[in-house]
Structure 1
Amino acid sequence: SYSGDWILRIALPVTVYKMTGSASAISLLFIAYAIPSIVLGSVAGVFVDRWERRRLMVITNVLMGLAVLPLIAVQSSAWLWLIYLAAFAESAVGQFFGPSENAMLPLLVEEKQLGSANALNILNNNLARFIGAGIGGVIVGTLGLEGAVILDALTYFMAAGLVALISVTSKPNVQEQAAHALDAIKKVGQDWRIGIRFVRHEPVVRLLFLSTVLMAIGEGTIGVLFAPFVLDVLKGGEAGVGALMSAQAIGGISSGVVVAWIATRAKPSLLCGFGALTFGLIDLVIFNYSTFVEGFAIAIVLFVLVGIPAAAAMTGLQTIMQLRVPDEVRGRVFGALGTTFGIFTIFGMAFAGIMSDSLGIVPVLNIQGFAYTTIGIMGLTLLHRQMVEATPVEAIGEIQTA
């Protein structure tokens, strides 16, 4: 499903930009994607901790496939509202998938293999990006948005079938089941508060949430301005948009096995810190090199390189979260993380959509480079020290009564 998702994530911004020529219109698209993470992210995590996760992942894949199909009807800018609505619906359902996947993984492998499992999972995602993004620009240029939508929907339906074949089930222990609807609603609210209370009590997790804030602001700016950057600054054309995404995925793929090997030997805090710092510095070179020299090939090489530290940073961050968060609240904490990411992604998107016209595309994009550089410095200093000094995680019962 990630391959199809990347096809559409390339096709939609390119389509919207060609229809409107407006970065603000693209920012509205990505805001539509981000709003559900704010409204539903934490709440979805509560249900992930209460429902059977494999079944939930199957259902969400089917629903996301159905959500994108109406985009076949889009013919002109008069249909922008449908693009925004479909993006919102797809993202809303997806809020239940991400926490399910992250919460289930630690139950499938031993703790010492968790870092490697995360690295290989990221390798899989990069492979999907390589395939999807690589052909996404070509598909939208030849078959149009309709072709991209059909392929995306098919990948969701295929993913649902594959997940259904997983033999391991995952359902955390839920104490009592509410007898009445009102009691059930109260129980959901209580479960959500327990998850948030855990975040407040765990210093390492709090620092990861701060890193997520910086990451989200940077990702919001690149999400809005990536297509305009490739089309207007680098003059790469529609195929260039997909080519650069695939180039970054190549770096992620090539680093996947290496990062998986390193993850069994290096502390995840150092993996996150060095990865984020290198990622940020390469980003700054990517956004600014065209001021001094020309050549689209330079961008391709740099995007390949940046995929390597990106994989390392995400592997370290996810591993720390999974190690420091008990299974019974893992869905809620990952849901809250998604909500946090969504809020500040929208901030970055809004800033990029409003300020890029006056400040320029490149100065606004530099925000992402500085954000990841800051995350890297934090990872190598504060986060590493806190992981070294970390005490065992409190029992959920103690947090619940705190």
Structure 2
Amino acid sequence: MKREPSLQITQSGDHFSVALQGVWVKESIQKLELAFNTLTCQPKATYTIDLSRIKDFDTYGIMLILHHVKQLEAHDCTVEKIGASTSLEKLLSVCEMNYPKEKIQEPKEIFILSYLENVGKLAFEGYKTLATFFSFTGELAHFVLAAFLKPQTIRLKATLYHIEQSGAGALPIILLTSFLIGIVIAYQGATQLEKFGANIFIVEMVTISAVRELAPLLTAIVIAGRSASAYAAQIGVMKITDEVDAMSSMGFSPWNFLVLPRLFALIISLPLLVFFADIVSIFGGMVIATTKLDVSFVEFIDRIKATVALKHLIIGLIKAPIFGCIIATIGCFRGFQIDSSTESVGKYTTISVVNAIFWVIAMDAIISVLLTELGL
């Protein structure tokens, strides 16, 4: 018959000898608690726990022993365990390794130091991203130059495919946005021009603002939302599935196969889209001028020929390939930054759109300031 669990405690000054005996298993856990209640805890005392008389045990009994051992150690007591069998020693060591540790209270955060630390981290990450981007654009410039020196290396079919996807596929949304922009400009201008009887000046207002600024800018923003995100996601998924590495290992350049066709596609298609947006936005302005200011289509077109210089159209068309280059470069750059996690696909796709739109607007502002200073 198995012996009931019990403790035999002998004291000699500040030294306590605790002999555990009997069965230390789950079924006798309540008796074990009562047995340990007889053990008093004296700070900085020495306790020797004899485990040689334990007949049977399981994890519950061992964890109960460890619980009280930890309590003694918390009162600066010295605890020594002796007499454990081989199996008991193994289970005891496993339980000690996995014994729940008290959560260390983190020091109180100082706002100023935390803020400065975050600023430093952001600055360092920005520096790394900027350095990587300069490296990417430098390598891209090298491959573009190499492609012009060897035109036969340009993948014409891939370029035409991306022109169809990024250019022709965007025609419906460009049609809608450009028409509405022309309507908005003409409608807002008509309200003010009616007050002064200067209805005919609606032609210059709509035409110059549309072809020089709004049509190129809004077309580039729409394409940035469509194409920058698509380029980043496509290249990112190819990285996750190891298609980019497989391409490199087979001797095919990812630059020639992935980056250059997309870059050339936007540089070619964006001026065509901008010219289309110019026509549609002017038509939207003509509709409002006819219905609200009694300026007929013929009068509108004759006024354009007489007063609107061709330079405004040319300036808008010159901006378009610059915007296309920015959008394609940022989209491909962010795509190559995507790592093996699917979460990074959404992250860098979003970042590519935000970056592309920001730099398109910033470049438009820079060009406008330069042209104004040059008297153009």
TM-score band w.r.t. shorter chain: under 0.3
Using the size of structure 2 for normalisation, the TM-score is 0.27
Larger radius of gyration: 2
Q: Which has the higher contact order (CA 8 A, sep 6+)?
A: 1
Using the size of structure 1 for normalisation, the TM-score is 0.26
